Amino acid sequence: MSSLSTPLILGLFVLAGAAIWWAGAILAGTTDAIDAHFEWGEGLGGAVFLAIATNLPEVAIIVGGAFSHNLSLAVGNILGGIAIQTVVLAYLDGPALRNRVPLSSSVSSLTIALESFVLIAILMFCMLGALSPPSLVIARTTPAELAIVATWLGGLWLIRHNEDRQVWHAAREEVAHEAPLMAKKHRPLGQVFALFAVAAVVTLVAGLILALTSSVAADRFHIGGVIFGATILAATTALPELTTGLYAVRAGRYELAMSDIIAGNAFLPVLFLFGTLLSGRALLPDAQAPDLYLTALGALLTAVYGIGVIIRSKRMIFGAGVDSILVFVLYAIGVGGLFIIAR
Q: What is the pLDDT of residues 49-78, one digit of tens each?
A: 667 777 777 787 777 776 766 677 778 778
Per-residue confidence at 4, pLDDT binned at 50, 70, 90?
confident
pLDDT confidence of residue 185: 52
Tell me whether strands 320-321 and 316-317 are parallel, antiparallel or unpaired.
Answer: antiparallel
Residue 318 predicted with pLDDT over 60: yes
More confident residue, 86 or 141: 86
pLDDT of residue 173: 39
Question: Is the distance from CB of 79 to CB of 223 less than 8 angstroms?
Answer: no
State the pLDDT at residue 299.
Answer: 95
Q: Residue 268: is its pLDDT beyond 70? A: yes
* 119: amino acid identity, one letter: L
In the predicted structure, residue 32 carries a pLDDT above the cut 70: no
- Mean pLDDT to the nearest integer, 174-197: 63
Candidate from 155-159, 244-248, 296-300 with smallest mean pLDDT: 244-248
Phi, psi of 3 (to 5 degrees): -85, -10
Which of 225-229, 234-238, 279-283 shows the lowest per-residue confidence on average (mean pLDDT)? Answer: 225-229
142-151, 175-184, 252-261, 284-293: segment of lowest average pLDDT = 175-184
Identify the pLDDT of residue 44.
58
Q: Domains, the chain, ranges and CATH?
A: 6-341 (1.20.1420.30)
CA distance 32 to 42: 8
Residue 327 has pLDDT above 90, yes or no: yes
Q: What is the pLDDT of residue 328?
A: 92
Share of the chain above pLDDT 90, in %: 14
What pLDDT score was predicted for residue 177?
A: 43
Mean pLDDT of 153-173: 66
Residues 149-177, mean pLDDT to the nearest whole number: 67
pLDDT of residue 1: 61
**Which of 23-27, 120-124, 160-164, 300-304 bottoms out in mean pLDDT, i.e. has the lowest?**
160-164
**Local confidence band at 148 (pLDDT 50, 70, 90 cut-offs):** very high
Cβ contacts of residue 194 below 8 Å, gap of 6+? Answer: none
Res. 150: pLDDT tops 90:
yes
Residue 316 host element (H or E)? strand 316-317
Amino acid at 91: Y
Average pLDDT over residues 26-45: 66
pLDDT of res. 196: 85
Q: Rounded to an integer, what distance in angstroms lies between the CA atom of residue 284 and that of residue 290?
A: 13
Angle at 160 between CA 154 and CA 166, to 5 degrees: 125
End-to-end CA distance of the chain: 29
Amino acid type, 73: L
Q: Which ranges in the chain belong to alpha helices (H)? A: 6-38, 42-45, 51-54, 56-68, 71-91, 103-106, 111-130, 143-162, 189-220, 225-230, 232-237, 239-250, 254-267, 271-279, 289-311, 322-341
As a whole number, mean pLDDT of residues 297-326 equals: 90
DSSP state of 180: -
